[in-house]
Amino acid sequence: MDVLARAHALEAAGRRVLHLEIGEPDFTAPAPVVEAGMRALRDGRTAYTATLGLLSLREQIAAFYRSRFSVEVPASRIAITSGASGGLLTVAALYVGPGDEILVPDPGYPGYRHFVRAFEGKARALPLSPADDFQPTAAMIEKAWGRRTKGVLLGSPSNPTGTLISAAELARIARLVAKRRGVLIVDEIYQGLVYGADPSTALGLPGEVVVVNSFSKYFCMTGWRLGWVVLPPRAVRGFEKLAQHLFISAPSAAQHAALAAFLPESLAILEQRRSEFARRRDFLVPELKRAGLAIPAEPRGAFYVYADCGGDARRWCLRLLEKETVAATPGIDFGANRTRRFVRFAYTRAMADLEEAAARIRRFAGGAPSA
């Protein structure tokens, strides 16, 4: 937060800041989506929708799971939400009561803790290790599971580490959580953004599995505020009631627009962008290593590199910003598990910016006394 404030101050003073701290694609929605959104506005399709969202969009998502992931998910289990945030919030409201414990990854997306705490639950951190690709393991969860534990929340690809959980480990976790009669909430917000691997889903695993997804990242629709949740059949009615009270419905024009996100021409654009993100990752990872940073777990998804700067990362980030006007995010934003030495770099800017940022980071790290 102080890095962000200082970056804004530098920009206000006329300096050019290279933004490697931004967790948002630099691409806007594909043209067919924008056009569909404009048509929806023009045609006045802007009334409240059903709380669970447009049936046509829910069916479209079901078809997407079928064609891309070979998973059968009926539209009746899919709820359209006000961003993944709205989904996570409603899921937390549904599953978390006062004193209930949810196991969350550390490092991990800070929102996880906040959603659990908002409903007076306890977010218990699972300290992750680079040896496990910064992902939880069934063994870890078994050890951490306590009397008040209600479930596990994990994200793959992960923010901030960009790492993926293996299908085998996730299946072990699902079986364990099912045995404990808990809920497994999987954040698949960065689902489409994996490199050198195929996107995957937790759907189809046994037990009470809830999947949260979003149109923000792969589909590049951040400010449209649209996401979805896939629920176990018996949770749908409870989710709907809560969402009805807490949100009424997700933005309407965005829902109509999102229908066009699954058109072949949109998907072609998005796959091209995925290649571009891969190209950026393939550039940035070796550059950061060359600058002397350690990347103990290979990032294979999202648009983040989580690197060990060898010292106090908050100080490192502030000095990098002052000296080279490159902004990055200190690890402490993502938890307490050795996060003090880590920095999250986002590759959500064009190659030219990344090249310049990398040169500056190398100059900075090469010339910097060890922090």
Indicate the residue among 45 and 274 with the shorter CB distance to a copy of itself. 45
**CA triple 302-305-308, angle to 5 deg:** 150
In the complex, minimum distance from the CB of residue 150 to a copy of itself, in angstroms, rounded to a whole number: 15
In the complex, minimum distance from the CB of residue 48 to a copy of itself, in angstroms, rounded to a whole number: 5
Indicate the residue among 119 and 283 with the shorter CB distance to a copy of itself. 119
Indicate the residue among 256 and 341 with the shorter CB distance to a copy of itself. 256
Per the CB < 8 A criterion, the answer to whether 3 and 230 are in contact is: no
In the complex, minimum distance from the CB of residue 131 to a copy of itself, in angstroms, rounded to a whole number: 30
Phi, psi of 312 (to 5 degrees): -75, 105
| Whole-angstrom distance, CA of residue 224 vs CA of residue 37 | 10
Indicate the residue among 35 and 322 with the shorter CB distance to a copy of itself. 35
| Whole-angstrom distance, CA of residue 317 vs CA of residue 329 | 7
Q: Is 26 exposed, middle or buried (0-12, 13-18, 19+ CB in 10 A)?
A: middle
Q: Strand, helix or coil at 347?
A: coil
Q: Is 302 exposed, middle or buried (0-12, 13-18, 19+ CB in 10 A)?
A: buried
Query: Where does this chain bind a copy of itself (CB under 8 A)?
Result: 24, 28-29, 34, 37-38, 41-42, 44-49, 82-83, 85-86, 89, 93, 97-98, 110-111, 114-115, 118-120, 221-225, 242, 245-254, 257
CA terminus-to-terminus distance, the chain: 20
| Whole-angstrom distance, CA of residue 120 vs CA of residue 188 | 24
Indicate the residue among 93 and 365 with the shorter CB distance to a copy of itself. 93
Inter-residue long-range contacts of 61-67, CB under 8 Å, 24+ positions, other chains counted: 61/228, 61/262, 63/262, 64/262, 65/201, 65/203, 65/230
In the complex, minimum distance from the CB of residue 168 to a copy of itself, in angstroms, rounded to a whole number: 33
| Whole-angstrom distance, CA of residue 185 vs CA of residue 102 | 10
16 DSSP 8-state letter = P
In the complex, minimum distance from the CB of residue 283 to a copy of itself, in angstroms, rounded to a whole number: 23
Report in angstroms the alpha-carbon separations of 367 from 206, 320, 327, 355: 53, 11, 18, 18
In the complex, minimum distance from the CB of residue 181 to a copy of itself, in angstroms, rounded to a whole number: 23
In the complex, minimum distance from the CB of residue 183 to a copy of itself, in angstroms, rounded to a whole number: 18
Indicate the residue among 245 and 289 with the shorter CB distance to a copy of itself. 245
| Whole-angstrom distance, CA of residue 232 vs CA of residue 284 | 39
Ramachandran area for residue 187 (φ above 0: left; ψ -120 to 50: alpha; else beta): beta
Per the CB < 8 A criterion, the answer to whether 169 and 184 are in contact is: no
In the complex, minimum distance from the CB of residue 266 to a copy of itself, in angstroms, rounded to a whole number: 15
Q: Residue 294 corresponds to which tokens in the numbers above?
A: 């350690």
Indicate the residue among 200 and 255 with the shorter CB distance to a copy of itself. 255
In the complex, minimum distance from the CB of residue 54 to a copy of itself, in angstroms, rounded to a whole number: 11
Indicate the residue among 32 and 207 with the shorter CB distance to a copy of itself. 32
Indicate the residue among 243 and 284 with the shorter CB distance to a copy of itself. 243
